[in-house]
Structure 1
Amino acid sequence: MRSDRGKESSEKGGTALPLAEDFYTIQGEGYQTGTAAYFIRLAGCDVGCPWCDAKYTWNIHRYPVSAVEKVIGRAAASGAPCAVITGGEPLMHPLVPLTEGLKANGLQVFLETSGTHPLQGEFDWICLSPKRQAPPLEEVFQAADELKVVIGNAEDLLWAEQCAARAGKSCRLYLQPEWSRFAEAVRLITEYVKAHPQWKVSLQTHKFMEIP
């Protein structure tokens, strides 16, 4: 649900956004696993996954808006080749000034989204992680470079196939075990990928490495 803080960021045209945190690390999931990346995690989410590992970002009122030019400056100074805009749900906010500024400083720009809001901004890679309780918009399905579906049970595999049918032909397909049900999910995913090799496995390697 949008809040007054979200409206404040919109009124500023995206020149200031509610920032939960930003830091330089290694991408731990999906197609870009192992890539050095500057993470920009925005606050606010209207999807609310029960297993989310970033629930601290949901309450947008906890985080003051930050000038995007300062965030861009930190990302550029880090030496990272790319920036990952994530959340929360980053598409709740106007992202054009942030993405334009990052690209102007030579960074590739990646987006991680549940796809529940229209796309805005310029991205080199879009990772769509769809959720059954809040299905993505069609435009995000079609724009996604990567589909990353979190799997906790067999019903999630059916949902993954429904999402894959809506994605573009060139979209890369990943199944990722729900961390809280890791052992069971890995067994399901292993057998499923063996039988359906168009899918690949995504692991949250940053958790094994114990890095942010």
Structure 2
Amino acid sequence: MEVVKSFPVMEEFYTIQGEGSYSGRAAYFVRLGGCDVGCVWCDVKESWDAEKHPETPVAALLEKITATKTDFVVITGGEPAMYDLSYFVDELHKLGIEVAIETSGCYPLKGDIDWYCFSPKKFKAPVEDAYAKAKELKVVIFNKSDFQWAEDHAAKVNDACKLYLQPEWSKEAKMLPLIIDYVKENPQWRISLQTHKYMQIP
């Protein structure tokens, strides 16, 4: 099997994780180009076409990552699970760096990821393996019907998976009060906010 040693990288940056379980933790983000899920409200649609982003060697990524003090890398997209991440993740582990992925779960994962953040989308069905691997289920709430949709997915994940509801940014003023009430009635859920946008950082 061919070892994948480069990826189309849209952007990479050292910042603070703004969402979910690791909110507030320093993290180096690697955003891969390429996605065929097609979320209408996606805020990084420029990531969809992989050919628009330069093939970047893993060695170059590692050089930039190790130039920071990070001990945590988040691989996101686009849809990062489209790619075989095994080599990249193994090299990060050799450096003592923890690795998370943010994925829609619509592709089988290739790579020994430490933290699997599963954010299913209505536009393309996830694979069954996503439910078993998920350590964090993060459902974006765009309208009221998404609450039941979130419960449908929560019923399939493993028992240790943490459950998060996150308002879609453009609908936050309308949806956040509903999410607050929902979580008070259903305390197995937690609220995830895009705190990086409040902090005005990437």
User: Shorter chain as normaliser: what TM range?
Assistant: over 0.9
User: What is the aligned counterpart of 1:161 among 139, 151, 160?
Assistant: 151
Deviations 1:65-88 (A, max 9, x none): 110111012112211010000000
Q: Runs in 1 of length 4+ with deviation above 6 angstroms?
A: none
The residue that corresponds to 1:5 in the other structure is none
Distance 1:187 1:134 in 2: 28
Q: 1:30 corresponds to which letter in structure 2? A: G
TM-score, normalized by length of structure 2? 0.97
User: What is the aligned counterpart of 2:44 among 41, 46, 54?
Assistant: 54
Q: 2:185 corresponds to which letter in structure 1? A: A
Cα offset, 1:12, TM superposition: 6.0
Distance 1:74 1:97 in 2: 17
Kept in 1: contact 2:183–2:191 (CA 8 A): yes
Whether 1:125 and 2:108 are equivalent positions in the alignment is: no
Q: Secondary structure at the match of 2:176?
A: helix
Distance 1:13 1:180 in 2: 40
The residue that corresponds to 1:7 in the other structure is none
Cα offset, 1:55, TM superposition: 1.1
The residue that corresponds to 1:8 in the other structure is none
TM-score, normalized by length of structure 1? 0.93
Distance 1:31 1:118 in 2: 22
- Listed as ranges, the gaps of 5+ residues in structure 1 are 1-10
Kept in 1: contact 2:84–2:109 (CA 8 A): no
Whether 1:63 and 2:82 are equivalent positions in the alignment is: no
Q: Secondary structure at the match of 1:51?
A: coil
Distance 1:167 1:128 in 2: 10
- Listed as ranges, the gaps of 5+ residues in structure 2 are none
**How high is the sequence identity, in percent, across the aligned residues?**
49
Distance 2:144 2:160 in 1: 25
User: What is the aligned counterpart of 2:103 among 113, 117, 122?
Assistant: 113
Q: Secondary structure at the match of 2:34?
A: coil
The residue that corresponds to 1:4 in the other structure is none
Distance 1:76 1:69 in 2: 11
Q: Which moved more, 1:11-20 or 1:90-99?
A: 11-20
The residue that corresponds to 1:15 in the other structure is 5
Q: Which has the higher helix share?
A: 1
The residue that corresponds to 1:92 in the other structure is 82
